Amino acid sequence: MITTDDGVRLWTRRTGTGAEPLMLCHGGPGIWDTFGDVAAGLGDRYTVHRWDQRGCGRSQGLDGGPEAYTLDRAVADLEAVRRGFGLERMTLLGHSWGAYLALRYALDHPGRVTRLVYVSGVGVGPEEGWRPAYAENFLRALGPRRRRWEELVALPEPSAAREREQCVLRWATDFADPDRALQQAARMATPWCGGVHTAANRLLGAAMRAEDPAALLDRCARLDVDTVVVDGALDLRPRSAVDSLVAALPRVRRVTLPHAGHMPWVEDWAGFREAVTG
């Protein structure tokens, strides 16, 4: 455990034997670290550092109101984790929402980041640029499971079992292979670490939408950090949403894995590893 400056205890884990430090920022917002396979697969190259973001999974949260779940607070928590592990500099890898968090951290603390790996993010433009297409793609990807999804959404009473089943159905659409998607999503949800932190999800999502894309892109244009952007070509979120970010970054390489969805390490491990370490 590592304690933040406002007293929140964050679950952390360090594994691997590689000489280079790697920090992993999980997606969400509001879920927990799902990088166990990534940490195991990169442990020969890196010493891998993982954590559950505040209020999520095995980490403590606060009932202190909206100020506990802001972008600045999330960046400060990541900085607390870096300090807690005693790292001077690190390769920083973020996935989905975690890609946005990693980018924001690199913009605020560029001297602490040796390399930024931005995986399956949605860029820094307005949500309208990708959300409608994603919503349409999501319903189509549910396929025969759409009826069950709609039944769960319509249920009046929340429960842990209902929430887990909904998450598994949603996460299954993030995998490109429909025959294995449900099994892969169920594996992500095991163990079930308390459910989605809805306040973190809502507040951090709103904070991302409130950011000024032009100001962020201007900052990105001055980011002196080697960056690799990793996309799965079959991600339901249109990859064009990331184009403006790639155009703005001065030291960037983009890798698109043709047979992978939103979780590219699951469906193309060799390609993912090469993108991260190459």
CB atoms closer than 10 angstroms to residue 245:
25
Q: What is the SS3 assignment for 141?
A: helix
Q: What is the per-residue pLDDT for 278?
A: 87
Q: What is the mean pLDDT of residues 257-275?
A: 98
Cβ-count burial of 117 within 10 angstroms (0-12 exposed, 13-18 middle, 19+ buried)?
buried
Half-sphere exposure of 188 (CA within 13 A, CB side): 33
CA 131 to chain centre: 17
3-state SS, one letter per residue, for 145-158 = HHHHHHHHHHCCCC
pTM of structure: 0.96
Query: With bands split at pLDDT 50, 70 and 90, how would you rate the model's confidence at 14?
Result: very high
Do the beta carbons of residue 238 and residue 264 sit within 8 Å? no
Query: pLDDT tens across 251-263, in order?
Result: 999 999 999 999 9
Cα–Cα distance measured from residue 89 to residue 83, given in angstroms and rounded to the nearest whole number = 10
Q: What is the mean pLDDT of residues 108-131?
A: 96
Using a pLDDT cut of 70, give the percent of the chain over it. 99
Do the beta carbons of residue 223 and residue 92 sit within 8 Å? no
Do the beta carbons of residue 152 and residue 162 sit within 8 Å? yes
Query: With bands split at pLDDT 50, 70 and 90, how would you rate the model's confidence at 61?
Result: confident
Instruction: Specify the residue for token string 């929402």.
Output: 97
Cα–Cα distance measured from residue 217 to residue 246, given in angstroms and rounded to the nearest whole number = 10
Domains recognised in the chain with CATH numbers: 2-127+195-277 (3.40.50.1820)
Q: What is the per-residue pLDDT for 65?
A: 65
Average pLDDT of the chain is: 95
